[in-house]
Structure 1
Amino acid sequence: MKNKFHTYLTCLFVSGLSVIVFSCSNTRFLKEGQMLYTGADIKIEDDTISKKEKNNLKTALEDNLTPKPNSSFLGLRPRLYFYNITKEPEKEKGFRYWLKYKVGEKPVLLGDVDREFNKDIIENHSENKGYFNARATYDTVSKNKKAKVIYTVRPGARYLISSVKFQKDSSLVNQEIQNLTDKTLLKTGKPFDLDVIKTERERIDNGLKEKGFYYFHPDNIIVQADSTVSKNHKVELNVKLKDNTPNLAKQQFTIDKVIVFPNYNIQDVKDGKYSIPMNTDSLSKYAYNDIYVIDPKHTFKPKIFDRALYFERGDLYNRADHNLTLNRLISLGVFKFVKNEFIVSDSLNHKFDTYYLLTPRKLQSLRLEALGRTNSANYAGSELNLNWTHRNFFRGAEQFKASVYGAFDVQIGGPKDANNIFRAGANAQLSIPRIVAPFRFHSSSAFVPRTNISLGYEFQNRTQYYTLNNFNASFGYVWKENARKEHDLKIFDVTLVSPANVTPKYDSLAQNSSALRRVVERQLIFGPIYTYTYTNTMMQKTNTVYYRGMLDLAGNLTGLFTGANVKKDKQKEIFDIPFSQYAKIENDFRFYHKFAEKTSFASRLIAGLAYPYGNSEHIPFSRQFFAGGSNSIRAFRARTLGPGSYDPRTQPDGIFFDQAGDIKLELNAEYRANLYKFLNVAVFADAGNIWLVNEDPERPGGKFSKNFLSEIAVGAGVGLRLDFSILILRLDLAMPLRVPYYEKGNRWTFDKVNFGDSSWRKDNLILNIAIGYPF
């Protein structure tokens, strides 16, 4: 085995070296007279502008030059090499075509570069940035069949804005423009910049859209620049309406009729007209409050549109309410397409009707899912799910989901005395698109708030050990302030765990383990759970963050009213079942930094604490923290790490159970890069552990102490991610670098690494196969 492993590494090394060596000789494939284009250099020669201005101008100019040279890695061009060595395929498919045109890259030659065109681009862009006297020249440098182009730019002094004037006239639209001048982006003393001028026109247009000028357009504004009236490289700006601005663009419009087609189909339109007459008499029978809902089959209750629409008859048009209404209609989740049209109904009084053309999704769907899985705890299995969804359950866009499922996991390695797991269950959830409460809840968010009611049951059988019956029910609300902030409040969440068929074998094992006994105890957990989520990861920014905070309060009021104190008395019970009392808080913070389009750094910090008190001495097993596995510390098998420095190897043979803790601290970091299209690579490091709040004699070293840093586990590894758009298949190979249950002073494992030893690889190389990114 050792010799085979070394042979494999040698072959891999030689193959990689061959690619590197031969990619250096791409020029040997060029024809006579051809030269490989290696890129452009821009030199800015001017002593009147600062170093920062030179760098900014140079970067912007380089981005505008075409074409781009062949992609390179560490100065080499492997993609060009694959193109060159692959023969021309006979068909536009197959492996050879894929290798040459998908993996490979066609050479970019000097003859492909239009240097005069690039020179014009440089001069035009420089002028747009205020360098009105910019001039550029170019020269070509070649050597060994490679060539690059050097562009020399003499920009001259940059022109600054000396004054900004918003020209006045008597029109209504001009009066509104004057009201917007206090927040202008055109500032005296700032450089002339065409991009800023374009943004200023869009700013004015956005402001006018909020004041009813629906038909206005940024192109209706002209910004005149005059550099002749001032000396010392100054320019005066004059902002005015174009003389040919259409009269319609100058008018302020109000809403006349609001008409909704909730079952819209393109077939409803014939010769550009709606098949249903639009006169007032025909609409009257569809009236609901101040809107008209054209729904002859009564598929939807009209009140859902009354709550979603922000336009009312007589309102002055504004873009904010326009977009808000569209977003709320989409967030109902029942419409596949949402379209809005405005049609002038009274040109004299400047009124238009607003039409909402809504194409519903399929109201019902039935989906069968089958999947196979394996995990690092030596289990493999399968799961079958049957899901039914109704998106308009009570005709008010209520979404009802019901599912039944069955799953099994078979232990394929690890402890000799293996046991298998079988699960089956059903759950149902009703999501109502409003807050159902005795109080009034008003939200002006673009997202419709929801009331969620759920009910579920799961049967779990661990062969040779026990059977558990799990019941769960919850009632709560979900609402979003905006696209970044979401609140999830479960006013009541109850879980009942009822054991059955606990085998004598498990009883004998549990006699010496309180942790095992707690797994099969009857448990009643109830109380509120609040979760807050903030994220801006959807934004196109270099740095983005994600935060999720959760607060779980179980049995608090009940414990207070009953005077529960497990340290003094027997546990209080409800229906002869002891109820849990604890407080749990968990924080998940993530930071992402984007180096390039497909290259980024991701990190995550998890900190959590669960504290039992009153009626509980321990946290219920299902609400504790766990560490290890494909989405945690990947160098350790799922739920086998911790607590603290407890050594799981001290467990008697035949006992295997998930390690759980009351405190969790975890830090993950990952560098992600794209190798080729769907193939991504990652290098990662994970650190952390779990601990107990109270001492457990059966798990020595598990309690949290001031020496917790010495009990941090560390792992690292590499991974491949296959991004198939509809899913991401992740393969992470990790190894432990620091093991907390080793002797102090001997917990780092660098000196124990031995890739050539098969037994070391078996115990230390952990392969995690999962769907999606770990964070």
Structure 2
Amino acid sequence: MKLNLSKITLLIVITGLINSCNSVKRVAEDEYLLLDNDVYVNEDKNKTEVINNLIYQQPNRKMFGIPLRLYIYNSARPNIDSIINAGIDKNPKKRQRLENKLSKKQLDKYVESRKSFNQWLKETGEAPTIVDQEKTEKSAKHLKDYYFHNGWFNVDATYNIEEIDKQRAKVNYKVKTGQGFIIDSISTKIATPAVDSLYQKSKEESIIKKGEQYKTINFENERNRITNNLRNSGVFHFSQDYIGFEIDTVGTNKKVNVGLQIKNRSLRTQDSVVRRPFNIYKVRDVNIFTDSSYENKGETATNTNTFNGYNFYSIGEMKYKPKAITNAVFINPGEVFKDSDRTLTYRHISELKTFKYPNIQYIENPDTTLTANIYLTPLKKFSLGFAAEVSQSNIQTIGFSVNPSILMRNVFNGAETLQLSAFGSIGASKDAGNDKDQFFDITETGLDLKLTLPRLLLPFNTERIIPKYMSPSTRMSVSYTGQRNIGLDKQTLNGVLNYRWRPSNSWTNRLDLFNIQYVRNLNPDNYFGVYKNSYNTLNNISQDINYNNGEDLTFPDQTDDFINDVLNENTAITPSDPEYQTVSDINEREQRLTENNLIFASSFGFTKDNRTNLFDENFSIFRLKLELAGNLLSNMSKIIGQDKNEEGKYEIFNVAYSQYVKTEFDYIKHWDLSKKNIFAIRAFFGIAIPYGNSTNIPFSKSFFAGGANDNRAWTAYNLGPGGTSSTNEFNEANMKLAFSLEQRFNIFESLNGALFVDAGNIWNVFDDVEDPNATFDSFGSLKDIAIGSGFGLRYDFGFFVFRFDIGFKTYNPAYNENNRWFNDYNFRNAVYNIGINYPF
């Protein structure tokens, strides 16, 4: 019987896997593979992450209960060089035959490839964790130290190695804590009276409290608290080294008496060290050097200026308005020294994006005052940027885009930045609405101008309401984009006046005083060339009644004529027929999506983000936004007595402007479960209600569902509204609910996995859509929430994460209510998503 090559290969792979799945394959006979660590505290098993992290040796990591990386490591061959060469030299003439057949160079490459693959298996895999006596003893000591520093001073920790079989074992750690020690009294001995006075004012904030169990970390935190308090109260020379604690437990019956000592300042002379009381320092002068670059090293400032008590020095004429700089400086002449003022100044000057990270130095004066010297190094006046991209989508075979930009700093000498960026792309369409001779028939161009000011640009003083520590800024932008052979070939003009400020490190506010957007459709006649599902539905109805003698409708003329004839009851279709409603819905959607839009909106939003750093995985983010559009224009129209058009709407430049209220709530929460195991949730609710001059929401302001960052079991714009069957290419509505749960875990090294469940949908509400399957009319409409589930892989490159997710339609509201669960739960109907970074 003749076996083909594929069967032979499969047999070899299976044999290799079975052979490598022996977990003790690389464990010596006198060694033990560590299977588990069990920690018993006062005879109760403790599996908390805090305790587990105290163990120096951990078992090989498992995925779904299988030590996969250990098996990969075991599949590598030790001493691979000897094995390969022994195989070749087993027959004295074999090496010579191979060299004659392959050449010596090719034979060397073959041997090297075998060695490289073997090394890759070792590096990708994970070596077996062998029970190490020394590390086990260190783990027991680590456990003992942990409980000792948390107040169990009579703790004892032991261990025993439990043999499971000949080459496998687990380690049992047993901790007996005894009774915890409680803080009974706190006394102080502070040498400097001024320091003692400052301590007494803040002692209620002490982290060490009478009646609580002793914890070493609390003493470290209290030392930091006292130091920060004194350093921010004028005690310039103070440091943690001056703080000491005396802990007395002798004869106290498990009580702790704490003695806090703060010594005088230590001054070193040539012969000895003397102690002197600390002094409270004030800042006498603040000198700001605006040209402190390497090129100007050694040059003397030729220009001196004073503003609000600040001294400015520059080489030649100063290029910056003093107020723009002092708004970012928190070290004030005449005030008590505060270390926090220096930190704030560092941050706010960096945020100007005009200078490099500043250098701030304090000089002590004989009269117990300080002189603060702030050295600023200007960044280059101009910066150039460039980005390019190659893309492919559902409307183009291939596309190329470029995005050049130029940034100009200190435009008006007030640390303003002006950025001009352009966007241009060309692409080859898959299915253009009109036939084109050229290959690249898609073009898109854009221009964006942004001016950012490091202050609020308002006709009145906002310092009392929004002080400078909140980093207020103003941004004005104007942008234009134009498209050809993309959809309806839109032209968009946008203007924004925006204010931002941060009341705290975790809180950011944004106010768009106005956001004006004008959207003009250049090619509305191509509507049915873009929305082909609508055209196919309309054309099928036409053919069913033989409207066009069985011929396909041409657009726009014949499609418009057919719609008008149906709605005017000039065909066999009557208003009681379902086809009549279908045609009416198509007509309403066409009219809405082909009309030009003018949006004059104002909005306010805030974000609360309590992440402490980029690597924090235990945080929450809450976003809220409220947007109002059209109210100002509506009131003006009424005041001047403007006439309405035939549809009862006010117009500006022959365009009916939009009027609506829109709000969005977004909540994200991450729980760090340790070992790169993260549980994340997201909840989103958005609604936009038209009123006054509008009966619906502009397409650009509506909501959609599906996509790589939403419900991943559906492609973008393909879900909803409600329980409809998604006959449109771009489904959108004015209300949205979305929920996501995701369990993220590490597979090995930089490769991570995820299991997720996404739920949500979009609906029409309070607008002119009357389809009951698409509208949200009661809580009963929640039955149309779509549910998708799936899994994904993520590779962390450090500066970004590459993401691949597979979403399965678990509950599809497009089907009948008794046939919605797991109807399309298979790989054929799955949606494959590629994204950059995490979805939330």
The 5 A counterparts of 1:484-499 are 484-499=506-521
Residue 34 of structure 1: aligned partner: 31
- C-alpha offsets along residues 666-705 of structure 1, whole Å, 9 cap, x if unaligned? 2222222222333222222222222223576796632222
- Cα distance change of structure 1 residues 112 and 733 upon mapping to structure 2, 3 Å threshold: same
- Measured after TM superposition, the shift of residue 224 of structure 1 is 0.4
Q: Among residues 573, 589, 593, which one is paired with 1:515 in the alignment?
A: 589
- Cα distance change of structure 1 residues 668 and 129 upon mapping to structure 2, 3 Å threshold: closer
- Measured after TM superposition, the shift of residue 436 of structure 1 is 0.7
Q: Among residues 470, 480, 487, which one is paired with 2:492 in the alignment?
A: 470
- Measured after TM superposition, the shift of residue 127 of structure 1 is 2.9
Which deviates more from structure 2 when the two are superposed, residues 369-378 or residues 552-561? Answer: 369-378
Q: Does 1:449 align with 2:439?
A: no
- Measured after TM superposition, the shift of residue 137 of structure 1 is 3.6
Check the 8 A contact 1:646/1:700 in 2, yes or no.
no
Q: Among residues 247, 256, 261, which one is paired with 1:240 in the alignment?
A: 261
- Cα distance change of structure 1 residues 416 and 766 upon mapping to structure 2, 3 Å threshold: farther
Distance 1:405 1:201 in 2: 55
Which deviates more from structure 2 when the two are superposed, residues 194-203 or residues 588-597? Answer: 588-597
> Any idea what SS the aligned residue of 1:742 has?
coil
Task: Report the number of matched residues.
Answer: 733
Query: 1:252 is aligned with what amino acid?
Result: I
Which deviates more from structure 2 when the two are superposed, residues 765-774 or residues 531-540? Answer: 531-540
Check the 8 A contact 1:445/1:480 in 2, yes or no.
no
Residue 166 of structure 1: aligned partner: 188
Q: Does 1:250 align with 2:278?
A: yes
The 5 A counterparts of 1:723-734 are 723-734=796-807
Query: 1:373 is aligned with what amino acid?
Result: S
Residue 720 of structure 1: aligned partner: 793
Q: Does 1:428 align with 2:503?
A: no
The 5 A counterparts of 1:174-189 are 174-189=196-211
Query: 2:610 is aligned with what amino acid?
Result: N
Q: Among residues 312, 321, 331, which one is paired with 1:293 in the alignment?
A: 312
- Cα distance change of structure 1 residues 586 and 166 upon mapping to structure 2, 3 Å threshold: same
Give the structure, 1 or 2, with the largest relative contact order (CA under 8 Å, sep 6 or more).
Answer: 1
Residue 552 of structure 1: aligned partner: 627
Distance 1:510 1:747 in 2: 36
Query: 1:390 is aligned with what amino acid?
Result: M
Residue 767 of structure 1: aligned partner: 832
The 5 A counterparts of 1:607-756 are 607-649=685-727, 657-693=729-765, 701-706=773-778, 707-748=780-821, 750-753=822-825, 755=827
Q: Among residues 234, 239, 244, which one is paired with 1:217 in the alignment?
A: 239
- Cα distance change of structure 1 residues 308 and 713 upon mapping to structure 2, 3 Å threshold: same
Q: Among residues 386, 397, 401, which one is paired with 1:383 in the alignment?
A: 401
Residue 353 of structure 2: aligned partner: 333
Distance 2:385 2:14 in 1: 46
- Cα distance change of structure 1 residues 137 and 629 upon mapping to structure 2, 3 Å threshold: closer
Check the 8 A contact 2:20/2:74 in 1, yes or no.
no
Q: Does 1:311 align with 2:331?
A: yes
Q: Does 1:227 align with 2:255?
A: no
- Measured after TM superposition, the shift of residue 646 of structure 1 is 2.8
Check the 8 A contact 2:350/2:358 in 1, yes or no.
yes
Which deviates more from structure 2 when the two are superposed, residues 330-339 or residues 427-436? Answer: 330-339
Check the 8 A contact 2:507/2:608 in 1, yes or no.
yes
- Measured after TM superposition, the shift of residue 647 of structure 1 is 2.9
Query: 1:295 is aligned with what amino acid?
Result: S
Distance 2:139 2:820 in 1: 60
Distance 1:12 1:603 in 2: 42
- Measured after TM superposition, the shift of residue 450 of structure 1 is 0.9
Check the 8 A contact 1:283/1:292 in 2, yes or no.
no
Residue identity over aligned pairs, in percent, reads 28
- Measured after TM superposition, the shift of residue 177 of structure 1 is 2.1
Query: 1:523 is aligned with what amino acid?
Result: N
- Cα distance change of structure 1 residues 148 and 357 upon mapping to structure 2, 3 Å threshold: farther
Distance 1:12 1:691 in 2: 51
Who wins on radius of gyration, i.e. which is larger? 2
Q: Does 1:113 align with 2:185?
A: no
Residue 99 of structure 1: aligned partner: 120
Q: Does 1:81 align with 2:71?
A: yes
- Cα distance change of structure 1 residues 128 and 690 upon mapping to structure 2, 3 Å threshold: closer
Distance 1:720 1:75 in 2: 18
- C-alpha offsets along residues 430-475 of structure 1, whole Å, 9 cap, x if unaligned? 1111001011112346452111111111112236x74322111111
Check the 8 A contact 1:669/1:686 in 2, yes or no.
yes
- Measured after TM superposition, the shift of residue 426 of structure 1 is 0.9
Distance 1:583 1:288 in 2: 46
Check the 8 A contact 1:384/1:407 in 2, yes or no.
yes
Which deviates more from structure 2 when the two are superposed, residues 243-252 or residues 508-517? Answer: 243-252
Q: Among residues 455, 458, 461, which one is paired with 2:481 in the alignment?
A: 458
Query: 2:734 is aligned with what amino acid?
Result: D
- Measured after TM superposition, the shift of residue 299 of structure 1 is 4.2
- Cα distance change of structure 1 residues 60 and 598 upon mapping to structure 2, 3 Å threshold: closer
- Cα distance change of structure 1 residues 675 and 167 upon mapping to structure 2, 3 Å threshold: same
> Any idea what SS the aligned residue of 1:639 has?
coil
Residue 3 of structure 1: aligned partner: none
Residue 425 of structure 2: aligned partner: 407
> Any idea what SS the aligned residue of 1:106 has?
coil
Query: 2:814 is aligned with what amino acid?
Result: Y
Q: Does 1:195 align with 2:213?
A: no
- Measured after TM superposition, the shift of residue 237 of structure 1 is 0.9
Residue 602 of structure 2: aligned partner: 528
- Measured after TM superposition, the shift of residue 355 of structure 1 is 2.6
For structure 1, the residue ranges without an aligned partner over 5 or more in a row are: 1-6, 270-274, 650-655, 756-760
- Measured after TM superposition, the shift of residue 145 of structure 1 is 2.2
Check the 8 A contact 2:69/2:748 in 1, yes or no.
no
- Cα distance change of structure 1 residues 12 and 399 upon mapping to structure 2, 3 Å threshold: farther
TM-score by length of structure 2 reads: 0.79
- C-alpha offsets along residues 709-753 of structure 1, whole Å, 9 cap, x if unaligned? 2322222222222222233222222222233232332233x2554
> Any idea what SS the aligned residue of 2:226 has?
helix
- Cα distance change of structure 1 residues 42 and 413 upon mapping to structure 2, 3 Å threshold: farther
Residue 653 of structure 1: aligned partner: none
The 5 A counterparts of 1:112-131 are 113-131=134-152
Distance 2:788 2:227 in 1: 54
For structure 2, the residue ranges without an aligned partner over 5 or more in a row are: 1-5, 82-111, 268-274, 527-554, 564-586
- Measured after TM superposition, the shift of residue 229 of structure 1 is 4.7
Q: Among residues 563, 572, 578, which one is paired with 2:656 in the alignment?
A: 578
Query: 2:802 is aligned with what amino acid?
Result: L
Query: 2:279 is aligned with what amino acid?
Result: Q
Query: 1:354 is aligned with what amino acid?
Result: A
Distance 2:15 2:323 in 1: 70
- Cα distance change of structure 1 residues 588 and 181 upon mapping to structure 2, 3 Å threshold: closer
TM-score by length of structure 1 reads: 0.85
> Any idea what SS the aligned residue of 1:113 has?
helix
Distance 2:677 2:15 in 1: 25
- Measured after TM superposition, the shift of residue 616 of structure 1 is 1.5
Query: 1:256 is aligned with what amino acid?
Result: R
- Cα distance change of structure 1 residues 565 and 481 upon mapping to structure 2, 3 Å threshold: farther
- Measured after TM superposition, the shift of residue 233 of structure 1 is 1.6
Distance 1:60 1:596 in 2: 9
> Any idea what SS the aligned residue of 1:387 has?
strand
- C-alpha offsets along residues 54-73 of structure 1, whole Å, 9 cap, x if unaligned? 959x8755533424444344
Check the 8 A contact 1:257/1:354 in 2, yes or no.
yes
Which deviates more from structure 2 when the two are superposed, residues 699-708 or residues 527-536? Answer: 699-708
Distance 1:703 1:125 in 2: 59
Query: 1:77 is aligned with what amino acid?
Result: P
- Cα distance change of structure 1 residues 102 and 361 upon mapping to structure 2, 3 Å threshold: farther
Distance 1:394 1:481 in 2: 27
